[in-house]
Amino acid sequence: MSAAQFLRLAYLTPSESRSEGWHGVLGAAAFAAGTGGAGVPQGGGADFPLAHVHTPVLGDAHEILEVWRAGSRVQQGSHGRVRYARGGDFLFGSLAVHEAETIRPAGSAPRTPLELATDIAYREMYAALAAAGNPQLVRVWNYIPDINIDTHGLERYRQFNTARQEASLACGRAVAGAVPAASALGAAGGSPLTIYFLASRHAPAFIENPRQTSAYRYPAQYGPRSPAFSRATVLGEGSEATLFVSGTASIVGHSTLHSGDPAAQVRETLVNIEALLGEAASRSGLGRLRLETLAYKVYVRDPQDLPVIRRELESALGAAAAPLYLKADICRQDLAVEIEAVGGGGWRHNGAG
């Protein structure tokens, strides 16, 4: 990727994002409590894909925008429910599906509303990628209302994994190996299943963690279908590569460690991210990144744990790291924190709001 092909990521308040202007914006995700609209005006150059994610921001700001820009002219498009924008080699897309909208086709096998919504979302995402000429998924963010609740005899996260894998297989997509980096977090009850994603004309390298069982190889105790994501992806090569770290937690092998101890979970999670940095360096020629050079988004199950989680991260990363903290349920109920990250030479970052 040339310098013109850099991605730029910023975590901003709505007022900060308006002051920067909307030139070159591929898309954004707005994080806020409740199920209302985000404070982002449309029109006036702000007509880009925007995912409304109903997870509260922890800190002084009531709303934060995760804004992705490309160093080139951006073209807008849509396909079904998916809105997307293309800039250079990159594509950002988003869509939302309300479970109340879903209808099981006559004669089909019984499926839960969340499974139907997930099937719709993933089929439409894949169709949009094909139509846009960007078939290579690099990173996917999934926000699932009431992710840990059992309905129809199965936890909703496991329902989501089942439908994601089945939709991927039906669309001829891999469910192991060459699968994108991803996160799946909780969102407010009553909100839609919300997904946003980054894709490229070029295939990324798919990175696994030697300390962890690959998620797509999890044993059956974690649900009827395994999660279909890589631990990280690297887009580009050498000094211009960008690393996308999936949602990462205190898991070694396939088992949760340090249940009930948020501080120890943060430390174990950072060891896992360091292991991914090593694997990415050996696989892509990216060079060994340092933890403190990455941009972080941190999901906290219980806001009462935020002080100890923040303290551990500041100790490891330095106060300048400025992660974005969000309140969200995590895929396992014994996990207190999950962390994702972006880094490398092929991107630019403005700190968290």
Amino acid at 332: R
Amino acid at 63: E
The one catalytic residue among 63, 124, 268, 338: 338
- If you search the block for the tokens 């994994």, which residue do you land on? 161
CB count within 10 Å of CB 47 equals: 14
* Interstrand relation of 324-327 and 347-350 (parallel, antiparallel or unpaired): unpaired
3-class secondary-structure state, position 182: strand
If 0-12 CB within 10 Å is exposed, 13-18 middle and 19+ buried, where does residue 227 land? buried
What the block records as the tokens of 154 is 């199965």
Report the C-alpha dihedral over residues 30, 35, 38, 39, rounded to 10 degrees: -140
Which residues are 77's β-sheet partners?
84
Amino acid at 123: R
What the block records as the tokens of 125 is 């995402």
* Interstrand relation of 90-97 and 154-155 (parallel, antiparallel or unpaired): unpaired
Instruction: Please report, for residues 10, 18, 77, 161, 330, the alpha-carbon distance to residue 42 in angstroms, rounded to integers and kept in the order given.
Output: 19, 11, 15, 33, 31
Which residues are 229's β-sheet partners?
none
325 φ, ψ (degrees, to nearest 5): -105, 130
- If you search the block for the tokens 């100790």, which residue do you land on? 315
Active site residue 279: no
What the block records as the tokens of 210 is 């030697």
3-class secondary-structure state, position 138: strand
Residues with a known catalytic role: 338
